[in-house]
């Protein structure tokens, strides 16, 4: 059994995926690219920057993870991957395969690590030297034989800033293992049930996602502003004050988050998260 496969199996057996049942589905497809693409010979891993220097203007406003500021990355990246795939076919000849952006059960982080794009940090994010971790991952699985790149070494060293900074202790004391069922991003995006009362006051004012383990990572001091117009936030998003968020209407939610990843939690989910933040004060 491959190390990544074994690690995923152990992670699932511990229940670290919480109520994200889809994580346990299609195990063989998740660990074997040929189950997704017949005749697959190569996984091409790609990174796409989403980091922005822009911030929400009110320091007391409930926070949204950077990746969700603009339009939903699934659609933006999939269109770019299809262009790349067409370019490959035009330059090389007929190549069969599929493009993936969180759209199927794939071990994107492990494949990216194997290809040398970065190492898996103690916060379990893929970190690239001189660049950081504010990147989306995407893949092409193709039937073209390509000489593989090699993994790079781990540069986390003795640093444990992400471990110490996580308010819900989602990262194991030694790092490299994340209990998804304790992660603020899981609670505010994935969990559809009532939020557990024992975590009140521990969300650090995050209403959608969480960037804490990335914000404290020393490697992200190298992060550069993205140049993707589609990732620019809705004009109202950054200017909304704390009170504006707590009084947000469904109409305003639909306007601000049109074509946004935040729509995944729905208006009712965001209101639930906002109420939880207030109760934890």
Contact assessment for residue 204 and residue 184, using Cβ atoms and an 8 Å cutoff:
yes
Q: Which two tokens stand for residue 161?
A: 């800033």
Q: Which two tokens stand for residue 195?
A: 């939020």
Q: CA triplet 88, 90, 91: central angle to 5 degrees? A: 65
DSSP 161-182: HHHHH-TT--B-TTSS-B-GGG
Task: Choose, from 102, 143, 154, 204, the residue flagged as catalytic.
Answer: 102
DSSP assignment letter at 151 = -
102 in active site: yes
CA–CA dist 82, 33 (Å, integer): 18
CA–CA dist 248, 243 (Å, integer): 8
Residues with catalytic function: 102
């Amino acid at each position: 059994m491959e190390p990544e496969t074994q690690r995923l199996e152990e992670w699932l057996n511990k229940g670290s995926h919480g109520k994200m049942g889809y994580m346990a589905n299609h195990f063989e497809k998740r660990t074997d690219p040929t189950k997704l693409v017949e005749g697959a010979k190569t996984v091409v891993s790609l990174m796409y920057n989403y980091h922005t220097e822009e911030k929400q203007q009110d320091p007391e406003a409930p926070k949204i993870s950077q990746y969700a500021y603009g339009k939903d990355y699934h659609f933006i990246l999939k269109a770019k991957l299809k262009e790349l795939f067409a370019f490959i076919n035009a330059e090389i000849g007929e190549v069969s395969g599929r493009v993936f952006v969180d759209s199927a059960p794939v071990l994107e982080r492990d494949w990216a690590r194997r290809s040398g794009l970065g190492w898996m940090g103690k916060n379990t994010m893929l970190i690239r030297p001189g660049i950081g971790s504010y990147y989306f991952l995407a893949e092409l699985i193709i039937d073209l034989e390509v000489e593989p790149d090699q993994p790079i070494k781990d540069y986390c060293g003795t640093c444990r800033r992400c471990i110490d900074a996580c308010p819900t202790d989602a990262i194991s004391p030694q790092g490299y293992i994340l209990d998804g069922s304790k992660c603020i991003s899981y609670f505010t995006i994935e969990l559809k049930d009532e939020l557990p009362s024992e975590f009140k006051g521990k969300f650090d004012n995050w209403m959608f996602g969480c960037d804490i383990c990335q914000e404290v990572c020393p490697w992200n001091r190298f992060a550069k502003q993205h140049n993707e117009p589609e990732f620019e936030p809705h004009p109202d998003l950054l200017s909304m004050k704390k009170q504006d968020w707590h009084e947000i209407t469904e109409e305003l939610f639909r306007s601000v988050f049109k074509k946004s990843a935040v729509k995944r939690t729905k208006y009712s989910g965001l209101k639930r998260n906002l109420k939880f933040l207030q109760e934890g004060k």
